Amino acid sequence: MKILRAEYLGMCFGVRDAIELAVHEAAAQPLTILGDLVHNETVLAQLRSRGIQFQNEAAAVATRRVMITAHGASDCKLTDTRNRGLQVIEATCPLVQLAHRSLKALVDEGFHPVIIGQREHVEVRGMTEDLEQFDVVLAEPEIARLPERPRFGVMAQTTQPIDKVRRLAQALRERFPAAEVRFVDTVCQPTKQRQNAAVELAKQSDAVVVIGGKNSNNTHELVKTCAQFCERVFHVQTAAELRRDWFRTDDVIGITAGTSTPDQIITGVEQRLHEFDAAQNSIARTEETLNYCKWIEHFKRNKQNRPEPDWAAPVNIPSGVLAPLLRSVEQFRLGDGGGPASLIAFNREKFRSRTEELRQIVDLWFAEEAEHARLLGCAVRRFGGRIITSHWSFTAFCLCRRVLGVSFELQVLTLTELVSTGYYRMLRKHSPDGPLAAMCELILRDEAGHVAFQRDRLLSAGCPRPGMRGGWWRLQFLFCGYAAGTVLWISHARGLKAIGGTRSEFYSEITRQMTRFIRSLGKQPKPTRVPAQWAQPQSAQLQLAK
Ligand code: SF4
């Protein structure tokens, strides 16, 4: 889990100054604030705890002094409040004052004011209560309902998204092409910064947490903006509302916050996300360790139970069959034998360096591969062949594995095991030789374990991700499998045909292995059934490729 903070987020200077002023004034004399100083319950609770009272109407104020919030108030409301004998302390944000002055200038010049914002928002009411005529719009349909006027003066509530404001101003121009439309940008700079930063954040994130009050207009706008660029957007007021199941272990999580959200709430949310991350990592580590332990047991058990084929038994195979069969076995030994050029050797140290458990498994697993090479070597010698050290198909295969690299490693290794399983099953079925068939039986048992082990590793690595199973990942997996299978068929066709195998049989065999494997991924989204399997390691899971 990676956690990103938006470049600009949280409390703006206007709200911060208003809170500081309220605290300062309340320390001197009792104070009532008219309306919500900020749209944030946590901050309001802190202010109440300092003895500050809140009222919506001047008539209900019981203290001698009242404070006007950062959202500002109309002149008529200020006058009415003073006429009641109350001392007014103004905490109106300078950028809201600037919006009031811009509005007055438009009206003085004869423009009909159109304010883009929420009609009932305290800031908009503060702007409009002194006006005789005005319109407030929030979307295109409201513009369509406006009557024609010769001159429109357009401005906005300070916390509206600037893109939306510009779009609506343009819509007004298009609706009344003959009218003079003057637009004054009154959206405040902190809002613009937070909106732009939220866009950048949402583009980089798998999930975004927007922190702010449920009644906060600018927080709602941040939620809407983020939702345009990110599918999972969560609006919370505090860390307590966060839920662990909203997030995945490998998520990039963005954090942004409205202009009335205090720093300590943002920090609390960030800390809580880090706690989720630590808890999920710990669960994943435990599962991984348990899983690894299961595989250590499995490979150790295989090691102790390896019945040797009766290589001393007489060979009774016609020469026309033996020669191509021998070529095939010689080549296959090369692949299973590893050697300095093989993928196994190429990545062995990388696997081993991960954890102690994985190091043990990799050593045991690769020891099985080496044992397969030894068995194939025995078969080669039994048929009077030689131990070859190179073949074009093996060189091509190693090259592909290196080009594909470690990121593709799990899938490539898995496909190799599946295609090999197809080969050994055909060899076992048609083998004209008893010890060779017994060898195939033993190797197939091992390969089934390798495939199941690779499946666990693929699932632990989050592959295929949800949504990929039926689509692109499956196609890619099948395509690579058929490509590897075709290389194998071309280089082993003579040997397999000599013992009675056919091409269609080979392709249906590898198709069966790959589709069973893909289905098994869908059946078990995460390796959480580990304890039961550990207790019973020869479960159906280990029989996958058989
Ligand atoms: S959001 Fe903008 S206008 Fe409103 S208080 Fe903050 S800085 Fe001032």
* Residue 301 confidence (pLDDT): 87
* Domain presence at residue 284: no
User: Which range of residues forms the domain containing residue 253?
Assistant: 190-279
Q: Is the pLDDT of residue 8 over 90?
A: yes
The rounded distance, in Å, linking the Cα atoms of 29 and 27 is 6
Name residue, tokens 């980089």.
204
Q: Are 117 and 63 in contact (CB under 8 A)?
A: no
Residue 120: phi and psi, rounded to 5, are: -95, 0
Q: Which mutation among 40, 69, 100, 191 tests ligand 1's pocket best, with the greatest number of atoms within 8 A of CB?
A: 191
Average pLDDT over residues 32-51: 86
Residue 366: alpha-carbon gap to chain centroid: 34
Token pair of 55, please?
A: 């009222």
Mean pLDDT of all residues in 422-434: 92
Q: How far apart are the first and last CA of the chain?
A: 38
Do you find a cis peptide bond into 525, omega within 30 degrees of 0?
no
Q: What is the reported pLDDT for 78?
A: 95
Please check whether residues 532 and 501 belong to one and the same domain. yes
Q: What's the pLDDT tens digit per position in 450-486?
A: 888 878 777 765 555 544 445 677 787 888 889 888 9
Residue 545 has pLDDT above 50, yes or no: no
pLDDT at 337: 56
**Are 353 and 495 members of one domain?**
yes
From the alpha carbon of 123, which atom of ligand 1 is closest? 4
The model's pLDDT over 185-214, given as tens digits with 9 standing for 90+, comes to 999 999 999 999 999 999 999 999 999 988
In a domain, 529, yes or no: yes
Considering the candidates 123, 369, 417, 447, report the single residue annotated as catalytic: 123
CA distance 394 to 430: 24
Q: Is the pLDDT of residue 152 over 60?
A: yes
Q: Are residues 422 and 462 in the same domain?
A: yes
More confident residue, 141 or 250: 141
What is the average pLDDT score of the chain? 84
Of the chain, the percentage scoring pLDDT greater than 70 comes to 84
Q: How confident is the model at residue 351 (pLDDT cuts 50, 70, 90)?
A: low
Q: Residue 511 pLDDT > 80, yes or no?
A: yes
Q: Which of 173-177, 500-504, 539-543 has the lowest mean pLDDT?
A: 539-543
CB 71 within 8 A of CB 96: yes
Choose the final residue of a domain: 167, 187, 207.
187
Ligand 1 pocket member 12 (CB < 6 A): yes
User: Distance between CA 378 and CA 435 in Å, rounded?
Assistant: 10
Rounded-to-integer distance, Cα 59 and Cα 71, Å: 20
Regarding the beta carbon of 261 and ligand 1, being less than 6 Å apart is answered no
**pLDDT (0 to 100) of residue 340:** 39
Q: What's at 304, amino acid-wise?
A: Q
Q: Is residue 467 part of a domain?
A: yes
Higher pLDDT, 349 or 51: 51
Domain count, the chain: 4
Q: Looking at the structure, do residues 40 and 141 belong to the same domain, yes or no?
A: no
The Cβ-side half-sphere exposure at 390, using a 13 Å CA radius, reads 4
Stronger pLDDT, 124 or 305, i.e. the higher one: 124
Residue at 319 is within a domain: no
Six-digit token pair at 324? 């191509």
Tell whether 171 is covered by a domain: yes
Atom in ligand 1 nearest the alpha carbon of residue 94: 8
- Residue 369 pLDDT: 83
Q: What is the CATH number of the domain that holds 336?
A: 1.20.1260
Q: Half-sphere exposure of 473 toward its Cβ, with a 13 Å CA cutoff?
A: 18
Task: Report the pLDDT value the prediction gives residue 334, as an integer from 0 to 100.
Answer: 78
Does pLDDT of 69 surpass 70?
Answer: yes
Q: Which of residues 356 and 179 earns the better pLDDT score?
A: 179
Q: Cα(105)–Cα(72) distance, rounded to whole angstroms? A: 18
Fill in the DSSP letter of residue 178. Answer: T
The pLDDT score that the predictor gives to residue 354 is 55
Taking only the tens place, the pLDDT of each residue in 380-405 is: 999 998 888 777 777 776 666 666 54
3-class SS string, 101-113: HHHHHHHHCCCEE
Residue 538, pLDDT score: 32
Whether residue 32 is predicted with pLDDT greater than 50 in this model: the reply is yes
Q: Is 158 in the pocket of ligand 1 (CB under 6 A)?
A: yes
Handedness of CA 436, 441, 442, 447 (dihedral sign): positive
Dihedral sign of CA atoms 35, 39, 43, 44 in order: positive
Q: Is 258 in the pocket of ligand 1 (CB under 6 A)?
A: no
Residue 129 a catalytic site member: no
Residue 481 and residue 507: Cα distance in Å, rounded?
10
In a domain, 480, yes or no: yes
pLDDT at 215 (0 to 100): 83
- Please report, for the domain that includes residue 34, its CATH number: 3.40.50.11270
DSSP assignment letter at 39 = S
How sure is the predictor about 529, in pLDDT bands with cuts at 50, 70 and 90?
very low
pLDDT of 443 reads 92
Is residue 232 within 8 Å of residue 206, measured between CB atoms? yes
What is the pLDDT, as a whole number, of residue 543? 33
* Pair 378, 514 in one domain: yes
Residue 302 has pLDDT above 60, yes or no: yes
Query: Do residues 213 and 254 both lie within one domain?
Result: yes
Among 153, 157, 112, 151, CA closest to 138? 157
Domain identity same for 369 and 395? yes
Task: For residue 297, tell me if it sits in a domain.
Answer: no
Assigned token pair, 255: 């954090």
Atom number of ligand 1 nearest to Cα 15: 5
Based on the domain organization, do 338 and 464 belong to the same domain? Answer: yes
Same domain, 224 and 344: no
**CATH number, residue 125:** 3.40.1010.20
Q: Where are the beta strands (DSSP E) in 70-127?
A: 87-90, 112-116
Does residue 508 carry a pLDDT above 80?
yes
Q: Is 96 in the pocket of ligand 1 (CB under 6 A)?
A: yes
Q: For 11-20, write each residue's pLDDT tens digit.
A: 999 999 999 9
Q: Are strands 207-211 and 232-236 parallel, antiparallel or unpaired?
A: parallel
**pLDDT tops 50 at residue 94:** yes
| Ligand 1 nearest-atom number relative to CA 99 | 3
Distance 109 CA to ligand 1 centre (A): 26
Instruction: Count CA within 13 A, CB hemisphere, residue 35.
Output: 22
| Cα dihedral value 43, 45, 48, 50, nearest 10 | -70
Look at residue 64 and tell me whether its pLDDT is greater than 60.
yes
pLDDT at 366: 79
Of 51, 73, 92, the last residue of a domain is 92
pLDDT given at position 464: 57
* Residue 469 sits in the same domain as residue 343: yes
Q: Cα of 228 to ligand 1 centre, how many Å?
A: 24
Is 290 part of a structural domain of the chain?
no
Residue 72 beta carbon below 6 angstroms from any ligand 1 atom = no
* Residue in 333, 351, 302, 288 with CA at minimum distance from that of residue 449: 302
The pLDDT value recorded for residue 403 is 60
In the reported structure, the alpha carbon of residue 12 is separated from the centroid of ligand 1 by a whole-number distance in angstroms of: 6
Contacts of 24 (CB under 8 A, 6+ apart): none
Segment (H or E) for 397: helix 392-404
Better-scored residue on pLDDT, 250 or 129? 129
- Percentage of residues in the chain having pLDDT higher than 90: 55
- Are 104 and 137 found together in one domain? yes
191 in ligand 1 pocket by Cβ < 6 Å? yes
Domain match, 126 and 137 both:
yes
Q: What is the pLDDT of residue 468?
A: 47
pLDDT of residue 368: 86
List of residues 6+ apart from 314 with CB closer than 8 A: none
Q: Which of 159, 187, 215 is the last residue of a domain?
A: 187
pLDDT exceeds cutoff 90 at 348: no
